[in-house]
Amino acid sequence: MALAKEADIALGLFTMTTERATAVDFTDHVSINYARILAARGSPEVTLWGFLQPLTTNVWIGILAALVVYMLVMVMPSCISDKTLTRSRLMRSSFHCVRVLLQQDVDEGSSWWWWERVVLGVWMLMTLVLTRSYSGNLMALLAVRLIPEPFQALEDLFKHPVQIIMVKGTAEEQAFRTATSGIKQKIWNLRKENRIMRVGAAQLDGVHVILLEGKSAMINLDVYHKKIMASEFTKTGSCMFSLGNMRYIPAVEAMAGRKDSPLVPALGRKIVQMTQSGLYDYWQKKFFPNLTSCLNSPTKFAITTPLAIRNIWGMFLLLAGGWIASFLVLFVEICFLVPLQGCPHATDERCEIDPRSFKEDNTPH
């Protein structure tokens, strides 16, 4: 309307762009905002492999590497001299570390060398600290529920097949539409998969209903996201949305007027006085009293209810997997290893007794 000279001033805040500056004149900026992602908050969930979370992946890898090093340290001296290398000593030296890690007993024999006792003592001290730390962190994690917020950056939109909502005619949509490379172009190409929903400004009042279904995410200026979050908090008293951390497309917003209109610079001076005195921020908080109520809402909270089977069934799954693996090993031993160890029955025709396997007193080796 300002371009058609039907209006002198456009009262709404518009993002300054090069294309728009060729059609209208902008006043001094009122605010600076950024495009962010708004989506519905997930419900509290329990991780299936929560019992692995007390230790990071690097720590688990370090434990496995320490086990291998410990076995090599305990076995290498025995391998130097064939006279001291026996099957029982090899098994004792290499698998005592596993027994200590699993908090099982370790036999104390007179054949232990002093250096073996020192190495085993150091390993016991390390596993003591490790197991106590693990058990303490595990108890804390089992008492905490996590609210997932998967959409923190634009890259997360590719990991989850949600529909992306954009507002027609905005500078933010134009930035994605005109992108020739990078993440913005990849997101705009998702329209070929019908994952881009373009809505008009008049439809923004109903967008929150679509977002609450959990199948969509919206890209818009964070000031409009905050208003949606504040309105929903005022109605329900709960924070139903999550705002992404990453910020994109800086938007300098101002009012617009006719080209070469004397009203634009005059109004610009008043806007500078308004923003510097803090009136704009005051008006926002006045009309949206809960504007910042959900900006730092917690994503973790403690529970006091008893643990259910759904909270720890990952441990039972691991136990079942261990049972299955042990039965498979038992089957292999019965079917393949036992027949190779000798003749189970003297009357078996398949057995051929080797005379060299007996001494002079007819006792087998």
Candidate from 53-62, 143-152, 316-325 with smallest mean pLDDT: 143-152
Does residue 46 surpass a pLDDT of 90? Answer: no
In whole angstroms, give the CA distance from residue 346 to residue 200: 91
Per-residue pLDDT at 141: 73
CATH fold of 9-45+147-302 reads D-Maltodextrin-Binding Protein; domain 2 (3.40.190)
SS (H, E, C) 197-253: EEECHHHHHHHHHHHHCCCEEEEEEHHHHHHHHHHHHHHHCCCCEEECCCCEEEEEE
What's the average model confidence in pLDDT over 107-131?
A: 77
Contacts of residue 18, defined as CB under 8 A and 6 or more positions apart, other chains included, come to none
The pLDDT value given to residue 345: 47
More confident residue, 261 or 54: 261
Is residue 67 within 8 A of residue 97, CB to CB? The reply is yes
pLDDT computed for residue 249 by the predictor:
87
Residue 328 CA to residue 338 CA, distance in Å, equals: 15
Phi and psi at residue 80, in whole multiples of 5°? -65, -40
Tokens of 310: 């759904």
Q: Alpha-carbon distance 179 to 160, whole Å?
A: 22
| Confidence label for 337 from pLDDT (cuts 50, 70 and 90) | low
Q: What is the mean pLDDT of residues 75-79?
A: 64
Give me the amino acid identity at 51: F
Do residues 197 and 167 lie in contact, with contact meaning Cβ atoms separated by under 8 Å? no
CA–CA separation, 186 and 208 (whole Å) = 25
pLDDT above 50 for 356: no
Which 8-state DSSP code applies to residue 32?
Answer: E
**What are the pLDDT digits (tens) for 26-36?**
999 999 999 99
- Give the range among 123-132, 197-206, 233-242, 334-343 with minimum mean pLDDT: 334-343
φ and ψ of 20, to 5 deg:
-70, -30
**Within 13 Å, how many C-alpha atoms sit on residue 350's CB side?**
6
285-319 pLDDT, tens digit each:
888 888 888 887 776 666 666 667 776 777 888 88
pLDDT value for 164 = 93
Select, from the ranges 106-110, 149-153, 359-363, the one with the highest average predicted confidence (pLDDT). Answer: 149-153
Q: Is the pLDDT of residue 209 over 60?
A: yes
Query: Measured between alpha carbons, how far is residue 86 from residues 74, 83, 93, 96, 323 in Å?
Result: 13, 8, 11, 15, 30
> For residue 105, how far is the Cα from the chain centroid?
38
Which position has the token pair 């007027």? 257
Arithmetic mean of pLDDT, 51-62: 83
Query: Partners of 31 in the beta sheet?
Result: 253
DSSP tally for the chain: helices H, then strands E: 13, 10
The mean per-residue pLDDT over the stretch 259-275 comes to 91
CB atoms within 10 A of CB 97: 23
Q: What is the pLDDT of residue 348?
A: 47
For position 42, what pLDDT does the model report? 76
Q: Which residue has the higher pLDDT, 101 or 108?
A: 101
CA pair distance 365, 356, nearest whole angstrom: 9
Q: What is the pTM of this model?
A: 0.60
User: To 10 degrees, the CA torsion angle through 321, 324, 328, 331?
Assistant: 160
Confidence band, pLDDT 50/70/90 cuts, at residue 347: very low
Distance between CA atoms of residues 64 and 68, nearest Å: 6
DSSP 90-138: HHHHHHHHHHHHTT------TT--HHHHHHHHHHHHHHHHHHHHHHHHH
The secondary element (H helix, E strand) that includes residue 184 is helix 182-188
How buried is residue 293: exposed, middle or buried, by Cβ count under 10 Å (0-12/13-18/19+)? middle
Residue 37 clears pLDDT 80, i.e. is over it: yes
Judged against a pLDDT cut of 90, whether residue 219 lies above it is answered with yes
pLDDT, tens only, 139-196: 777 777 777 788 888 999 988 889 999 999 888 898 999 888 889 999 999 988 899 9
Average pLDDT, whole number, for the chain? Answer: 80
Q: In this structure, what token pair is assigned to residue 288? A: 């949206």
* Burial class (CB within 10 angstroms; exposed 0-12, middle 13-18, buried 19+) of 122: exposed
Per-residue pLDDT, 19: 87
